[in-house]
């Protein structure tokens, strides 16, 4: 029995995210498995507490999701890799961890890897970033793409 490789790519359309998706394609090349392009919208505390703000966020979330799915589709066009797009609201690192755990449970005996782009923002070096949070708590292997 051949082990499959499932790559969970944190994707928000940014340059680091597009590099992460390109890296996932290279990692999957020649192997069986698939890529899950995963967008997590991170609402602020204020948006979560205000019903009006949350309703506005959910409306714009649907538009953003569609734009990102189209962007990922364009980036993956012509590449021979199976992929799907998924999305949710929440804390980015926590949601990626939950999704990785769900993939691992759905595919026992196979390998699940989170692929994330590194942040180039100076503030993230001081207070942390999604990749730093993932490195501390990821339940599966993690690839951070520069």
Q: Render pLDDT for 102-135 as a digit per residue (tens, 0 to 9).
A: 999 999 999 999 999 987 654 444 445 788 889 8
**pTM of the predicted model, to two decimals?**
0.87
| Res 123: pLDDT | 42
C-alpha–C-alpha distance, residues 139 and 84, integer Å? 21
| Res 124: pLDDT | 42
Residue ranges in the chain whose pLDDT is less than 50: 122-127
C-beta separation of 30 from 37 below 8 A: no
| Res 119: pLDDT | 73
3-state secondary structure of 33: strand
Domains of the chain: 5-145 (3.40.50.620)
C-alpha–C-alpha distance, residues 136 and 76, integer Å? 30
């Amino acid at each position: 029995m051949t082990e499959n490789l499932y790559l969970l790519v944190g994707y928000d359309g940014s340059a680091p995210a597009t590099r992460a998706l390109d890296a996932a394609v290279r990692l999957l090349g020649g192997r069986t498995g698939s890529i899950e392009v995963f967008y997590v919208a991170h609402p602020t505390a204020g948006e979560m507490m205000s019903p009006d703000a949350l309703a506005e966020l959910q409306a714009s979330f649907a538009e953003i999701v569609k734009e990102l799915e189209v962007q990922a589709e364009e980036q993956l066009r012509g590449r021979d890799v199976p992929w799907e797009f998924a999305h949710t609201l929440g804390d980015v690192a926590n949601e990626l961890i939950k999704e990785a755990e769900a993939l691992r449970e759905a595919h026992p005996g196979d390998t699940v890897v989170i692929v994330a782009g590194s942040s180039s923002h100076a503030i993230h070096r001081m207070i942390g970033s999604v990749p730093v949070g993932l490195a501390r708590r990821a339940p599966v292997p993690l690839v951070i793409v520069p």
